[in-house]
Copies of this chain bind each other. A is one copy, B any other.
């Protein structure tokens, strides 16, 4: 058996499609969005109202540069392609290094040189394993000083990360300007969660491959449910707070019920919705079904959100107020334990560890008993997360990541800093993609975190007044009872373009 699978080898040879314009592109300053005024004090040097468009034309003369690149946060398919795109677009004789394990590699100056051999080994491959990733944040002066030391000799640092990592990149960019360092910081929007969006950033890379992998599995399970006719499958999907992944998968698989956190139902109403589904399907002779649950659902359920907030303040359950105490005790013992015992390094409840799917199954079972339900209710729980973060990137994510890497190289050549690479028109063919660079500060606002006012890039939630969600609400009544399961099947890399080059439904202007 060869260590590299056949598909692995074939994908190494894939040549991403890139926007024509990047062959000879320059950057044009345009009127940008104004950053919130409160940002000026925090980012005096980066605070300005400009934006940058990528346009056709000869830009600055390319000269060799030294660039460091890093991944930060959770894996997303297409990440390796950002690095290969960057590498391929850097002027001859440039040097590219990769910081190991995210920002901690930057702080501790741990890196490897990335040459043709390293780059060629990860073309169109999943994961971040070339240089690893991490969740360290650069916040203290001591850390910033260390980063400045590392940065000496580097023309630019490219940060491939989500909202927090891009915020951190902007903080470092500002610090470099203040310290008179020439090193630029360029951000690349990465997250499977789909919550890093703005007017200019339509979507982050990784979302497409993750959703397609989850949708493959959800479709398989739906077909199994329809065949066996005896189980309700409760499927929790990764994706932190926002329900974008769940909504995308709902539309591509058309399962019976998808809970969208942003609808803001209480726990009682959520349980009722599921119980109602089960009762009505039972009346239609169906004792099976498929229900999608976004990982972040619990944070939208008022009782649990309040409880979590209270537990984040009072580590001890005995210090809870009567309402929170009541909420806590109404939960199954296992979930109580997860809320009380699982804490992150800041002492906060680890929301991702809460087994919402079990919580709901348990409460639904209880309620069905209370109402004297005569049908049968057998549930199976699933959680899909890690399966979709490091998969082989779809053609969409391969092309998207690669183009973002090439854009980062352009930003370096043009001397931009504190900006995030952004592409619009992603639902169009690659040749029509609309590229720009957005100053990160324009996406930020202040939020209280751990008792301190901090700049953050606001997470984009599912717009419950938006076309996509409304489309779903028009369809879901039908999907609840009449099975219209849709089976997307596994990601395809060869064959007709309708299977190899589809893009997320989320991009559709419904």
Bound-complex Cα distance A388 to B490 (A): 11
Whether the pair A499, B10 counts as a contact (CB closer than 8 A) is yes
In the complex with contacts A495-B10, A495-B494, A499-B7, A387-B220 CB distance below 8 A: yes
Chain B residues with CB below 8 A from A11, complex form: 489
- CB within 8 Å of B: which A117-140 residues: 125-129, 132-133
- Contacting pair A1 B252 (CB below 8 A): yes
Q: How far is the CB of A133 from chain B (nearest CB, A)?
A: 6
Instruction: Tell me how many residues of A have a C-beta within 8 Å of chain B.
Output: 63
- In angstroms, Cα B484 to Cα A10, docked, is 18
Give the contacts of A82-121 with B (CB-CB under 8 A): 101
Shortest Cβ gap from A483 to chain B (Å)? 9
**Closest CB of chain B to A165's CB: distance in Å?**
15
Give A73's nearest chain B residue, CB to CB.
Answer: B228
Does A305 reach chain B (CB closer than 8 Å)?
no
Cα distance, A127 to B483, chains bound together (Å): 14
Q: Report the separation of the CA atoms of residues A7 and B220 in the bound assembly, to the nearest whole angstrom.
A: 13
- Cβ of A484: which chain B residues have Cβ within 8 Å of it? 3
Query: Which residue on B lies nearest to A488, using beta carbons?
Result: B5
Q: Hey, what's the 0/1 contact readout for A477-488 against B, CB within 8 Å counting as 1?
A: 000000010111
Cβ-based interface call for A343 (8 A): no
Within 8 A of B (CB), among A452-510: 484, 486-496, 498-499, 502, 505
Contact status B489-A226, CB under 8 Å: no
Residues of B within 8 A of A226 (CB): 127, 129
Question: A194-202, A389-397, A427-435: which lies at the B interface?
Answer: A389-397
Tell me whether A221 is interfacial, beta carbon within 8 Å.
yes
Chain A residues 3-22 with CB under 8 Å of chain B are 3-8, 10-11
CB distance from A474 to the nearest CB of B (A): 12
Q: Distance (Å) between the CB of A378 and the closest chain B CB? A: 11
- Complex alpha-carbon distance, A159 and B380, angstroms: 28
Asked whether A217 is an interface residue with its Cβ less than 8 Å from the other chain, the reply is: yes
Cβ contact within 8 Å between B216 and A490: yes
Q: Taking the complex as formed, is A224 at the interface, i.e. its CB lies under 8 A from any CB of chain B? A: yes
Q: Is the CB of A3 within 8 A of B223?
A: no
From B220, B486, B490, A1 is in contact (CB under 8 Å) with B486
Q: How far does the alpha carbon of A382 sit from the alpha carbon of B380 in the complex, in Å? A: 13
A129 touches B227 (CB 8 A): yes
**Chain B residues in 8 Å Cβ range of A502:** 6
Kindly supply a per-residue 1/0 record for chain A positions 69-90, scoring 1 wherever the CB is within 8 Å of any chain B CB and 0 otherwise: 0010011000000000000000
CB of A413 within 8 A of chain B? no
Residue among A3, A217, A231, A386 having the largest count of chain B Cβ atoms under 10 Å: A386
Contact in complex: B6, A386 (CB < 8 Å): no
Q: Does A229 contact B (CB under 8 A)?
A: yes
Q: Does A26 contact B (CB under 8 A)?
A: no
A251 CB–B CB distance under 8 Å: yes
Most buried by B among A4, A132, A216: A216
Contacts of A243 in B (CB 8 A): none
Also in contact, A388 and B494, with CB within 8 A (given A5-B487, A5-B489, A499-B7): no
A213 within 8 A of B: yes
Q: Is the CB of B7 within 8 A of A488?
A: yes
A233 interface residue per 8 A CB criterion: yes
Closest 4 CB pairs of A and B: A494-B495, A490-B490, A127-B223, A224-B390
Which A residues lie at the B interface, using CB under 8 A? 1, 3-8, 10-11, 71, 74-75, 101, 125-129, 132-133, 213, 216-217, 219-221, 223-224, 226-229, 231, 233, 251-252, 254, 380, 382-383, 386-392, 484, 486-496, 498-499, 502, 505
7 contacts between A and B (CB under 8 A): A3-B486, A5-B488, A217-B217, A224-B389, A391-B489, A490-B491, A492-B492
Apart from A10-B499, A221-B386, 20 more pairs, CB < 8 Å: A1-B251, A4-B486, A5-B219, A5-B486, A74-B228, A75-B228, A101-B229, A126-B220, A126-B223, A127-B224, A128-B227, A213-B490, A220-B389, A223-B391, A224-B390, A227-B390, A380-B386, A392-B490, A490-B491, A492-B493
